[in-house]
Structure 1
Amino acid sequence: MARTAPKVERLAEDGEELTDALAAVLSVAEEQGTVTWSDVSDDITSGEWGRLIESGLLIDADGEGFVVDDPEGVREALEDADAAPSEDDEDGGWSTWDKLAGLGTLGLFAGYSLTSVRDAIAGGFVDLFLGPLNDLLPFYVVILVLAVITGTTSTILQDNLMDMSGMGDHQEKMEDLKERRQAAKERDDQEALDRLEQEQMELMTDQMGMFKQQFRPMVWIMLVNIPLFLWIYWIVFGGGQIHDPTPPVITLPIFGEVEAWRNAIAGPIQAWILWYFLCSLSFTQIIRKALNVETTPTG
């Protein structure tokens, strides 16, 4: 059901008529094994039938009709859609918890400019957990460990909260629409062009919903990552003690030896920022490969 639920959720966002149509098709398919347009033409419109096929929930059964892909997952997703509060649908699938996480993230951003907020978050709460680690390990290893933590949490959150297959389906629909529009122009078929323009508007509406869905995991990622990043900032700028040789000598790839973590490396970019992002980018790629997480749209 991992990929089925987001597809049903997108149908629910487009209107209750589509979920009702899906339920009608599912009922006939479970009774007969396959379903054809003539079986359900009295209950759903041709547009709804086409939308179900486009969503990937209804797939061709080698010319013998259509079958519902993952019927058990569809049934569970329909039950969840019926139980979900309507205001979530209006906000692109964002739950109350997502909104609270968004508010929390906005509050955490204040830590970058307000010392009192940064000291309370980094020096008060986060240091309780990371302080012992900092006492045991050199600071460059501490940053490496935190990069692994943030890379792992980001990958897991993206995998669970983003539907890359849905984004791929949308891209395929846009490409197909472009080809059909070009063909209609060559035929000088104004009626088809008007119909395709309406279809394009509907796809643009779907795209706005996808943008909201893409931003949803970012809220949770920042909620985890910002406190850790603030703690590194707090340590580097004197909030705590760095467990390093005195004086510290840091050797960075390409840039060589650096005498202090606050030294500028490239413009305003300091050594600690560069080391964090090098570790984060490297380990995030490794973690994504290890967990087989897709981060690009797939059909």
Structure 2
Amino acid sequence: MSTVERKVRSLVAEDDGMREAIKVVLDHASDGEVKWVDVREEISSGQWGRLIEKGILEDGESGFALADRAGIEDGLESADDSGPITSGGDADAPEGTSWSKWDKAAGLATVGLFAGYAWAPVRQVIAGAVDVVFGPLMNVVPFHVVIMVVALATGLYSTLLRAGLMDMEKMGQYQDRMKNIQERRKEAKKRDDQEALDAIQDEQMEAMGDQLGMFKEQFRPMVWIMFLTIPAFLWMFWVVGYRGSEANYQLGELVIPIAGQAVEWTEPILGPIQIWIVWYFLCSMAFTQIIQKSLNIQMSPTSA
């Protein structure tokens, strides 16, 4: 069953008046196109709008073109011959996301950067390179301000990368399709329609690939974010002294409300988590929210 056929069946199932509206459009379609002025006496503007909204009518050269005449006719015929829809719906399977060679290269490089947490020579090289950028700040402002600058930078590029690389509309399509299947499954259970349940079960198995598609959509920007953030983290570890090693800068002590006294930056505050890590994440979350609001960037999936 084609996508257009499923959409026609869905429209007719929701509103039987759409059956006649679609027939009128088919009758007036000349060379595969129809204009509103040709059918406005026979169908309502709401019905016309629904046909456009569902993609049954598409932009044409002089009017609106039929998306698939054969599929529309098959949809009307199958809607006449059968009862409730047992499979398919308005939510189509979105096209999968493919990673470019640069995405794959960033993924491999990110895996290599993780070696810096376990291998001192790698950590020294990466931290030394990042120190060229942030090192001068250490001689001008306190360490907690430097961490704020790092958090601001990571929050900015993280937000921009997610907005640029993750297709929120496609994420919404994945969610809409799964929601559509679940709703039709509930309706079939209420009707005790075993044939419909079997068909929906098969469709649900086919839709399992959507979970992989969503994961690829979410993980693509994360690869680039980690590629840029891991070096910054390795540098901060190098500054404070990695796992008890000697610090590379004089950081001094600080007074924090939770501890109520002067403590070292490497002092554990939440279990084994050190103070500087907690401070970084607090700053990062705050700056990320401010950046998203300031740039009006939507970070939740857009429903179709």
The answer, yes or no, to whether TM exceeds 0.5 is yes
Paired amino acid for 1:31 = E
> What SS class does the counterpart of residue 139 from structure 2 fall into?
helix
Kindly provide the CA deviation profile for residues 94-141 of structure 1, in whole angstroms up to 9, marking residues without a partner as x: 111001000100011011111111001102x11111111222211110
Question: Would the alpha carbon gap of residues 132 and 201 (structure 1) be closer, same or farther in structure 2, given more than 3 Å must change?
Answer: same
Instruction: Establish whether residue 110 from structure 1 lines up as the match of residue 115 from structure 2.
Output: yes
Question: Matches of 2:248 and 2:151 in 1, distance apart?
Answer: 19
Distance 1:117 1:137 in 2: 27
The CA deviation at 1:155 is 0.5
When residues 179 and 231 of structure 1 are mapped into structure 2, their CA distance, relative to the original with a 3 A threshold, is: same
1:260 Cα shift?
A: 1.2
Superposition pairs for residues 168-179 of structure 1, below 5 Å? 168-179=172-183
Q: Give me the whole-angstrom Cα distance separating, in 1, the residues matched to 2:67 and 2:158.
A: 43
Aligned partner of 1:240 among 237, 248, 255: 248
1:194 aligns with 2:202: no
1:283 to 2:287 alignment: yes
Count of residues paired in the alignment: 235
Q: Which moved more, 1:172-181 or 1:144-153?
A: 172-181
Q: Give the distance between the partners of 1:135 and 1:260, measured in 2 at CA.
A: 19
> In 2 relative to 1, CA 27–182 (structure 1 residues): closer, same or farther, beyond 3 Å?
closer
Matched, 1:54 2:62: no
- Specify which of 66, 78, 91 is matched with residue 36 of structure 1: 66
| TM-fit CA distance, 1:271 | 1.4
- Asked if 1:147 is matched to 2:146, the reply is no
Give 5+ residue unaligned stretches, structure 1.
1-24, 58-80, 82-88
Change (3 A) 1:211 1:56: closer
TM-score (norm 2): 0.68
Cα distance in 2, alignment partners of residues 52 and 36 from structure 1: 19
Structure 2 SS opposite 1:136: coil
- Aligned AA (2:152): V
Q: CA separation in 2, counterparts of 1:255 and 1:280?
A: 21
- State the shift of 1:193 in Å: 1.7
2:162 alignment partner in structure 1: 158
TM superposition shift of 1:236: 0.5
TM-score by length of 1: 0.70
In the alignment, which residue of structure 1 is the partner of 2:28? none
Does the aligned pair in 2 maintain the 1:258–1:271 contact within 8 Å?
no
Are the equivalent residues in 1 in contact too, given 2:56–2:67 (CA < 8 A)? no
Aligned residues: CA RMSD = 3.1
**2:57, 2:65 within 8 Å by CA — same for their partners in 1?**
no
Query: In structure 1, how many angstroms separate the alpha carbons of the residues matched to 2:93 and 2:198?
Result: 25
The 5 Å alignment of 1:207-226 reads: 207-226=211-230
CA distance in structure 2 between the partners assigned to 1:176 and 1:260 by the alignment? 54
CA, structure 1 residues 27+233, in 2 after alignment: closer, same or farther (shift >3 Å)? Answer: same
8 Å CA contact 2:126, 2:231 repeated in 1? yes
Instruction: Specify the code of the residue in structure 1 equivalent to 2:201.
Output: E
Q: Which amino acid aligns with 1:54?
A: A
| Aligned AA (1:97) | W
CA radius of gyration, larger in: 2
Whether the 8 Å contact between 2:174 and 2:214 is mirrored in structure 1 is no
Give the Cα–Cα distance (whole angstroms) in 2 for the partners of residues 213 and 95 of structure 1.
Answer: 13
- One-letter code of the match for 2:249? Q
For structure 2, list consecutive stretches of 5 or more residues without a partner in the other structure: 1-54, 77-86
Cα distance change of structure 1 residues 106 and 142 upon mapping to structure 2, 3 Å threshold: same
Residue 106 of structure 2 is matched in structure 1 by: 101
Q: Distance in 1 between matches of 2:167 and 2:257?
A: 36
Tell me, in whole angstroms, the C-alpha distance in 1 between the residues paired with 2:189 and 2:258: 54
Q: Which residue of 1 aligns with 2:269?
A: 265
Structure 1 segments, 4+ long, off by >4 Å, are 25-28, 50-53
SS of alignment partner, residue 137 of structure 2 = helix
Change (3 A) 1:103 1:51: farther
Aligned partners of 1:26 and 1:97: how far apart in 2?
Answer: 38
- AA partner of residue 240 (structure 1): N
Q: Is the 8 A contact 2:56 2:66 kept in 1?
A: no
SS at match of 2:60: helix
Cα-to-partner distance string for 1:133-192 (whole Å, 9 max, x where unaligned)? 222211110011000000111110011111223222322322221121122122232222
What SS does structure 2 have at the residue aligned with 1:35?
Answer: strand
Q: Which amino acid aligns with 1:252?
A: I
